[in-house]
Amino acid sequence: MTNSSQENNTNENNTNTKTKAGEHLSKIMKEFYINQHLDAQAGKFCVWAAIIVPLEILRGFDIIVGIPENYSAMTASKGLGSAQCERSHQLGFSPDLCSYARIDLGNNLYPPKDAQMPPLPRPDLIITDNNNCSLLAKWFDVYHREYNIPHFILDVPFCYNPQDYDGLNYILSQYKDIIRKIENMTGQKYDIDKTREAMNNTNEALKHWKRFMNAALHKPAGITAFDSFVQMATFVTLRGTPQIVEQYKLLADETEVRIAEKIFPVPDEKYRLLWDNIAPWHQLRKMSSRLKQLDANIVYATYTSCLGTIEGGIDLYEYDGVDPLKHLARTQNFSVCPYGLELRYEVIEKLVDRCGIDGMVFANNKSCKVYSLMQLDIQKRLIDKLKIPSIMIDVDHADVTRYSEEGVFIRIEALLEQIDRYKNVC
Amino acid sequence: MTDFTESLKNIKNDGRRVMGCYPLYPPVELLHSMGFNPVIMWGLREHIISLTESDKHLQVYACSVARYMIEFIHLNASLLDGIVSYNACDTLRNMPEIVKCMLDGHGKSIPSFTFHVPAVSFEQSAEAGNYLGLHLNRLISAVEKEYHIKFSGDKFAESIELYRTMRNLCREIEALVSKGIIPFYIFCEAVGEGYFTSVEKHIEKLKSVVNDYTSNSKNVKNKRIILSGILNPPIGITKLFENCGLTVAGNDIAMLKRSYAFTPGIKDNPIEYYCSFYQERFPCTTILFSSDRRIDELKSLIENSGADGFVFVGEKFCEYEYFEMPFIEKKLKEWGIPGLFIEISTEDRDNLAQYKTRIEAFSEIL
Ligand code: SF4
Ligand code: SF4
């Protein structure tokens, strides 16, 4: 099995050959999926977890962990997303649902006979959370009913302000419930030392991640946001493992060398843009190469800036090595959707400043309402306060039928003209 | 049709503060006991003509509940003394700050209170009850501080009794609707208006509906349906059911049964009351852990009411309802109950003709 990077990898050098980090990513993801199936054949207990469920806790057990959202993103990046969406519609699921969910329901409940990608191993337990969205819990509940297996929902309070002490303790108490649940179902004893080790790995990996992301600060930027989208897949699947440390170290080192050698993805970079929403998985290569032709680079994205942070932050919230569960609870809201408009605006303001952003691209994504609903007010504030030009484009992260390349590029070109005007005036 | 702005003015003329509440199940008893008249801001589709202000803040793929609610707040900001919300759904949890931006843009401000209702059962996560308690205590303190008032257990107990009476009356009328004695649209109107008036006046209204119709003991032989969804269907659609000879034998609508089916037996402790209120209530797609129970409730609703068919009138863009539909459809087939699935969008208010043929065809197969 291949991974998204093989089809759509933007991590290529100027001669269009794959980077070492790109190759390594493909290798570890391939191994990850093959091992899952081998472990399942050997009868290992399998958990399907939502991407924000702290995998470091699950590493305290000897179990398989499947991540359906990642699998959906991969399906979309291989150009198979819309077909799987269609199959879920045939099962009666609404076309207005999130495309990750539709792809996944199509993948698992109505797989095509000639499936290029075999479905994830069948789960024994499902663990979701409601801080990215509760839609996820409803989606995974379908499997709870279909497969007649338990569904643990991690209830995380939405943050209008940074998480408080009581919120943290509430999350911690539920981590303990998850541990008890898996212990009871598997008969295994939870090993906190494995979680400790996993937390150390994650922390180490995230330091390299931030080093990699800092390449975007260079002018011209050493990376595009599309590189970060591709590389993020490892975080959501291999959090806590030594492989992710190796991957992100290789990635950051290689990126720094490329900058030293003056190899840049958009060498004549004239426009530095910021992206707000999930990656357009079906457009990674196309969109980045068309932008390159326009000397434009989406250098950073709120979607990938958030790894390792806390609400409203863009810097790494470092693990102090003391209590891994407490640290995980404190960083439970790292992804963008679990917090409100004020905190999200804070992130954007910091990124605009730090990355020297000229313009912003808000991807209006009907599939992910939690990411999109506040964008109109954030956009207005961005213009009022920072005088940063921006556009709103319609993009579904995984369903290409809801995307018009020409329509989007007309708007992007208009944004670039607007940036030129701003630059001339200022 | 009742003018809801007039209703709010009447409440204020009666000397009560108006607390605008986000749907679906806010703590109305608590707010009432603290001297407010809670109004739950849903069921507005037929009361608001344009969504000009809403469109500046919300994309068209937000559900109609959110879009009309923001417009309602805009139109009635000067009549609202406060706004209370909880994390009822993904859309609603994002709304308090969007509403604040909207109000800021007009130089207005309304005190706003949010609290968290655990989306999990206490059986799964025992700490969830304590966390809800903590949030309710914070809500009470914040309201006390903002308005210089004090919570009273005795008043809370009185408010519970009023709401219990109101909900019992709703159930009484539901039974009369099921017998074909009261038209379903009259019921919907009476319950819908209640969200924008005082509970005391609502009780009077419901009593008058009962009195107006109890002498009417017609024994109709219509086909019987269960209605499901979030909002009461538009009046035009409810009338279509009746015109097609369909009696609403029961419902699983969030604005109706899911709201009035249950009042906890607890007397005066708000924490215990709301722990029971949110944990043991009639199942709802938004109460995440109640999905399994919902199937059982639907089954007994169908069996006990002798329903011949099931009609789902869904809100476009409400994922909560969408995810359960294929499973319910499968179950209906197993139970031998025909189903009709209608989806109403924000724009559908004046465009109901398209549903007529489908409802007629459905009534013929029953
Ligand atoms: S709605 Fe958004 S946050 Fe939720 S599962 Fe879909 S993409 Fe993820
Ligand atoms: S209709 Fe659905 S999405 Fe809209 S407010 Fe109600 S529960 Fe939320």
For A20-193, give the CATH class: alpha beta
Q: Tell me the per-residue pLDDT of A173-189, one tens digit each, with 9 for 90 and over.
A: 999 999 999 999 999 99
A8 alpha carbon – ligand 2 mean position (Å): 36
With cut-offs at 50, 70 and 90, classify the pLDDT of residue A425: confident
Give percent of chain A with pLDDT exceeding 70: 96
Statement: residue A374 has pLDDT above 60: yes
Q: Is A96 within 8 Å of B61 when comparing Cβ atoms?
A: yes
Out of A7-11, A250-254, B355-359, least confident range: A7-11
Task: Work out the percent of chain A whose per-residue pLDDT is above 90.
Answer: 87
- Is residue B261 predicted with pLDDT exceeding 50? yes
DSSP SS3 for A195: helix
| Å from CA of B206 to ligand 1 middle | 42
User: Average pLDDT, stretch A389-395?
Assistant: 97
Instruction: Give yes or no for residue B301 CB within 6 A of ligand 2.
Output: no
- pLDDT tops 50 at residue B288: yes
- Contact pairs from chain A to chain B, CB under 8 Å: 128
pLDDT-based confidence at residue B352 (cuts at 50, 70, 90): confident
CA distances, A104 to each of A36, A113, A129 (Å)? 17, 16, 17
| In chain A, domain spans | 20-193, 207-229+254-425
pLDDT tens sequence across B210-238: 999 877 666 667 899 999 999 999 888 99
The predicted model gives A292-300 an average pLDDT of: 98
Above 50 in pLDDT, residue B38?
yes
Q: What are the CA-CA distances from residue A348 to residues A314, A392, B31, B36, B139 (Å)?
A: 9, 15, 37, 39, 31
Q: What is the pLDDT of residue B354?
A: 81
Contact A98, A368 (CB under 8 A): yes
> Looking at residue A115, what is its pLDDT?
75
More confident residue, A241 or B355: A241
Q: Which CB contacts under 8 angstroms, 24+ apart, belong to B357-361?
A: B359/B237, B359/B240, B359/B241, B359/B244, B359/B246, B359/B311, B360/B244
* Ligand nearest the Cα atom of residue A365: 1
Determine which of B89, B288, B289, B341 to mutate to test the interface with A (most A C-beta atoms within 10 Å): B288
Per-residue pLDDT reduced to its tens digit, A402-420: 999 999 999 999 999 999 9
This prediction's pTM: 0.95
pLDDT value of position B267: 78
Partner residue facing B289 (CB), from A142, A153, A170: A153
* pLDDT of A108: 92
Are the beta carbons of B119 and A153 separated by less than 8 Å?
yes
Burial classification of residue B330, based on how many CB atoms lie within 10 Å of its CB (0-12 exposed, 13-18 middle, 19 or more buried): middle
Out of B87, B292, B316, the one facing A96 most closely (by C-beta) is B316
Q: Does the ipTM surpass 0.90?
A: yes
Taking the CA of residue B144 as centre, how many other CA atoms within 13 Å lie in the half-sphere pointing to its CB? 10
Average pLDDT, chain A: 93
Query: Do the Cβ atoms of A141 and B317 come within 8 Å?
Result: no
CATH classification (class only), A207-229+254-425: alpha beta
Residue B266's pLDDT band, with cuts at 50, 70 and 90, is confident
Q: Any idea which residue has 């009432």 for tokens?
A: B32
CB contact (8 A) between residue B288 and residue A381? no
* Residue with CA at minimum distance from ligand 2 atom 5: B65
Return the minimum-mean-pLDDT range out of A314-323, B136-145, B289-298.
Answer: B289-298
pLDDT of residue A6: 34
Question: With contacts defined as CB-CB under 8 Å, which chain A residues touch B97?
Answer: 160, 340-342, 374, 377
* Identical topology for domains A20-193 and A207-229+254-425: yes
Ligand nearest to the CA of B62: 2
Contact A93 B126 (CB under 8 A): no
Output the residue whose Cα is nearest ligand 2's atom 6: B65
**pLDDT surpassing 70 at residue B94:** yes
Mean pLDDT for chain B?
94
> In the prediction, which pLDDT does A14 show?
42
- Give the Å distance between the CA of A297 and the centre of ligand 2: 38
> How close, in Å, is residue B205 to chain A by CA atoms?
37
Average pLDDT over residues B115-136: 97
Interchain contact, B319 vs A373, CB within 8 Å:
no
- The 8-class DSSP code of residue A386 comes to I
Please give the average per-residue pLDDT across A336-360, as a whole number.
Answer: 97
Nearest residue (CA) to ligand 2, atom 1: B318
Q: What is the pLDDT confidence band of residue A4, given thresholds at 50, 70 and 90?
A: very low
- How many Cα atoms are found within 13 Å in the side-chain-facing hemisphere of A149? 18
Using a CB-CB cut-off of 8 Å, the residues of chain A touching B62 are 369, 373
**What pLDDT shows up at residue B345?**
80
H, E, C per residue of chain B: CCCHHHHHHHHHHCCCEEEEECCCCCCHHHHHHCCEEEEECCCCCCCCCCCCCHHHHCCCCCCHHHHHHHHHHHHHHHHCCEEEEECCCHHHHHHHHHHHHHHHHCCCCCCEEEECCCCCCCCCCCHHHHHHHHHHHHHHHHHHHHHCCCCCHHHHHHHHHHHHHHHHHHHHHHHHHHCCCCCHHHHHHHHHHHCCCCHHHHHHHHHHHHHHHHCCCCCCCCEEEEEEECCCCCHHHHHHHHHCCEEEEEEEECCCHHHHCCCCCCCCCHHHHHHHHHHCCCCCCCCHHHHHHHHHHHHHHHHHHCCCEEEEEEECCCHHHHHHHHHHHHHHHHHCCCEEEEEECHHHHHCCHHHHHHHHHHHHHC
Distance CA A299, CA B229 (A): 44
Q: How far apart are CA A366 and CA B310, in angstroms?
A: 29
Question: Regarding predicted confidence, which is higher, A119 or A21?
Answer: A21
Q: What percent of chain B has pLDDT over 90?
A: 87
pLDDT confidence of residue B349 = 64
